[in-house]
Structure 1
Amino acid sequence: MPEIRALHPHHLKAACSSCSVMELCLPLGMTGPEVERLDTLIVQRLKVKKGAALYRAGDELRSLYAVRIGSFKTSILTIDGREQVTGFQIPGEMLGLDAISTDLHACNAVALEDSEVCPIHFAQLEKLAHDLPSLQHNLNKILSREIVRDHDMLMMMGNMNSDERLAAFLLNLSQRLKTRGYSSTDFVLKMRREEVGSYLGLRLETICRGIAHLRDQELVKISGRNVKILNLEGLKQLISGCHRPPAC
């Protein structure tokens, strides 16, 4: 069965100041002493096995979670019981923001691979943010980014055809991986094609046709989950008339 396991705090306590994704996460731009104060809120990291839920819709808000290793998908269930994927999160990104307004999570967050998160107790985080304007500023930026992400998603659904949506998705993922020091042209999709289709509002067969179209245009080669972008500028040109790549 999928599981969540706490790492022993004595040996594996998370230290924001030494984390490899610190510059992409909540401590961005904070001073050393400020990061140390934030560090005290992270008692221990959590390992989340592939397929395990970090939290589910309806769970009470206890913590926000900074992804340290691995990747997640967020999703909701439609009225007829189908899964609707709402996003994919990779290291340096936050999970749990959906619960701030109601104190209840509105979606499920499931690990796409064996992953690791840093839980930050939300009530304590709010208290610390009151004392540290830089931390409050970062929280506001993260929340604003979520609003922009939703806006971009609506624009993509309304203005892009299926090939353009797929191109925008791959380009966005490419850019996010590059920011984290990974290759922007050779990477592995951690999500299934059905999950990509759900996120983009496309059927599986449409995703498969889109992959073939991008291959025929010599833009991208996808084999299984292995992606090789052959023409990065070509991908950008494909969607340049529509909108900037959405934040996934």
Structure 2
Amino acid sequence: MDTIAPSFEQPTSPSSGFESQTEPKAAPPGPRLSDMFELLCAQPDTAGAAHVVHVSQLRRGGHVFREGARAEFLHIVRSGWFKSTRTGIDGYEHVFGFLGRDDVLGFEGLASKWLPCTAEALDVGSVFTVALRDLDVLRRQHPALDQALQQALAKQLLRATETADMVAAVSSEVRLARFLVWMSQRMAERGESPRRFLLRMTRREIASLLGVAHETISRGIGLLADRGQIRVDFREIEILDLPGLRASAVSTRRDLSLPAERHAWSAAPRAPVRERMACPA
């Protein structure tokens, strides 16, 4: 199945089995439209409290939808991290973005009948799912939803600009610094520690987003650690010097004020162009 098909929950009546002297406990209410409003920081809507929406749970590697699938649903990230990818004609998977809490997946479906990318869970996560065929009716019935979606779209455009800014730097080291600063900001928005967090994505996935070789990510992390700006324990990142990391993210080229040996990996002698372009025998 290419997309998650929601099965909207319906209220269930208590079982009519054996009588009991104690009143049976009501089943816990399912996720409501008002819960989605709260996630999107929209104005409260009392009418939304009665509308049950579907929540899909995904494990790492689970797909919300796949590239080329028919656009049928809109998904709002409730928890976890996801990656947005496209596959080239050569089979290479390119990461276009990392999406977390309150990000919207499948927005492209509003402009096309087909989804241009794949959304995959990077860890255990969940998404609210709304059918596109129901979206217009829900927007008319709940003005708060319409406002929330406009804000979400504006936020998506802003984050797309932030991603473009990451890869605008010439130096891969600066791209990495910008990515870590961006992650710090995202964690703060989620109410989590902006200085110590776990990277749910692999270094290869980060390299794909930034447009560099994954070996370069490993070298760049080592360089930032040598500067005393971060501490690394596998995928756990601790930012020790946030102002210093931000300073590393400002320049579009490498920091020339640092000793040359710190940039030995980027200044290593290179073979002549003809030799580098020659195919191995």
Could you tell me the TM-score, scaled by structure 2's length?
0.74
Aligned match of 1:245: none
Write the mapping of 1:13-162 to structure 2, written as runs, cut at 5 A.
Answer: 13-18=30-35, 23-25=38-40, 28-33=41-46, 35-36=48-49, 40=51, 42=53, 44-162=54-172
Deviation string, structure 1 residues 154-203 (Cα, Å, up to 9, x no partner): 33323342111111111111111112111111111111110000011110
Deviation string, structure 1 residues 70-119 (Cα, Å, up to 9, x no partner): 21111000121100001111122211112221121110111111211110
Distance 1:108 1:190, change over 3 A: same
> Percent identity of the aligned residues?
30
Q: Does the aligned pair in 2 maintain the 1:5–1:48 contact within 8 Å? A: no
- Residue 14 of structure 1, CA deviation: 1.2
Q: Which amino acid is the alignment partner of residue 142 of structure 1? A: A
Distance 1:18 1:153, change over 3 A: closer
SS in 1 for 2:200: coil
SS in 1 for 2:95: strand
SS in 2 for 1:57: coil
Q: Partners in 1 of 2:4 and 2:157 — Cα distance?
A: 29
Q: Which amino acid is the alignment partner of residue 157 of structure 2? A: I
Q: Does the aligned pair in 2 maintain the 1:4–1:47 contact within 8 Å? A: no
RMSD over equivalenced CA pairs, Å? 2.6
SS in 1 for 2:126: strand
Q: Partners in 2 of 1:154 and 1:62 — Cα distance?
A: 28
Q: Does the aligned pair in 1 maintain the 2:83–2:95 contact within 8 Å? A: yes
In structure 1, stretches of 5+ residues that fail to align are 243-248
Could you tell me the TM-score, scaled by structure 1's length?
0.83
The one of 224, 245, 249 equivalent to 1:239 is 249
Q: Partners in 2 of 1:18 and 1:144 — Cα distance?
A: 21
Q: Which amino acid is the alignment partner of residue 180 of structure 1? A: R
The question of 1:214 aligning with 2:224 is answered yes
Deviation string, structure 1 residues 206-225 (Cα, Å, up to 9, x no partner): 10111011101111112211
Q: Does the aligned pair in 1 maintain the 2:177–2:248 contact within 8 Å? A: yes
Q: Which structure would you say has the larger RCO, counting Cα contacts within 8 Å and 6 or more residues apart? A: 1
Q: Partners in 2 of 1:93 and 1:159 — Cα distance?
A: 25
Q: Does the aligned pair in 2 maintain the 1:4–1:49 contact within 8 Å? A: no
Aligned match of 1:246: none
SS in 1 for 2:191: coil
Deviation string, structure 1 residues 28-65 (Cα, Å, up to 9, x no partner): 2323325437xx261x2111121111100111112111
Larger radius of gyration: 2
In structure 2, stretches of 5+ residues that fail to align are 12-27, 253-281
Q: Partners in 1 of 2:105 and 2:203 — Cα distance?
A: 22
Q: Does the aligned pair in 2 maintain the 1:49–1:114 contact within 8 Å? A: yes
SS in 2 for 1:45: strand
